[in-house]
Each structure stands twice: as structure tokens, then as C-alpha cells.
Amino acid sequence: MADVESAVKEAVVEALALDDDEVTPDSTLMDDLGAESIDLLDILFRIQKSTGVKIEASDLGDYIQGGIPDDEFSDDNQIITAKGAEQLHKVMPQTDPSELEGKLNADEVITLFTVQNLVEMVKTRTSAAV
């Protein structure tokens, strides 16, 4: 199996038609690199082909939310709770819970997801599969 870091990077570079040096581990897929939903789908299928790890687009949200029920992850106005922010920090260590809690809309969570976050996600699936 291909090394996960390079497999993810290659998938991102090819799906988004970017140059190698435009994609860094801390680039956010959507905001920095401009990925749309079809790009994410393309990236996930490319990763599946090179690593054998199958990730559905819907898995991304589930992974980020970590099994926390919607009504505990965000409040009635879809704003992230303290518990939600803490979970986000687990899967996206670059985030600061104090900056997200009570501020970030749940729909925007995915915009914080970086190339490195995706690498870590693929690795969890790899070890789970072994």
C-alpha cells in the first residue's frame, strides 16, 4: 500500500489540478484549495484506488462529529457547543476550542478540514482494517 501522506497529497493535487507545492499539510481543502463537493468525491475515490481505503463523502462529517448527537454537538441555532469544539480539536488539532465554541456554525465545520486531517482520517481507517 502506498504511503498515506503521499497518496492523499497526490489525490488532492490531481483532483484539483494543482501544482505539488500548492498543497501543504495545513491547507484546508475547501477554503484554501477551493475543493467543491465533486472534488471531495474525486479525492476520496483516488485515495480508495491508491490505498484501498474506502471513505464515503458522508463519512467525513461523521468522523468529524465523532458520534456526538447533533443536539449536543451544536445548539438550536446550529452553533458549535463546548463539547462540539472539544471534539473538533480531537480530529482537527490545529483548531482552538475557545475560538470555535459558540461561534462556528455546524455547517461550516468541514471548511476547517485540512490535508493533514484527511491523512489522519485515512490512517484510522487503515489501522481499523488491519
Partner 1 sequence: MGIKLQDRVALVTGASRGIGRAIAEGLAREGAAVAVNYRSSEAQAQEVVDAITSEGGRAVAIGGDVSEYAQAQVAVAQTIEQLGGLHIVVNNAGIAKDSLVYNMDPTEWLDVMKVNFGGTFNCTKSALEQFMSQREGVIVNISSVMGERGWTGESNYAASKGAINAFTRCCAVEFARFGIRVNAVLPGFAPTDMVAGLMEKDGGKGISKQIPLKQFATVDEVASTAVFLAGPDASHMTGALLTVDGGVSAQVGVGKPL
Q: Which is nearer to partner 1, 15 or 91 (CB)?
A: 15
Q: Which is nearer to partner 1, 52 or 93 (CB)?
A: 52
1 binds partner 1 (CB under 8 A): no
Give CA torsion, residues 81, 87, 93, 95, to 10 deg.
Answer: -10
15 binds partner 1 (CB under 8 A): yes
Q: Which is nearer to partner 1, 15 or 118 (CB)?
A: 15
CB 56, min distance to partner 1, A: 10
CA atoms of 124 and 122, how far apart (whole Å): 5
Query: Which of 27, 48, 111, 126 touches partner 1 by CB under 8 A?
Result: 48
50 binds partner 1 (CB under 8 A): no
CA atoms of 52 and 42, how far apart (whole Å): 14
| AA identity, residue 75 | D
Among 26-34, 38-46, 65-73, 105-113, the segment contacting partner 1 (CB under 8 A)? 38-46
Query: Which of 5, 31, 42, 108 touches partner 1 by CB under 8 A?
Result: 42
49 binds partner 1 (CB under 8 A): yes
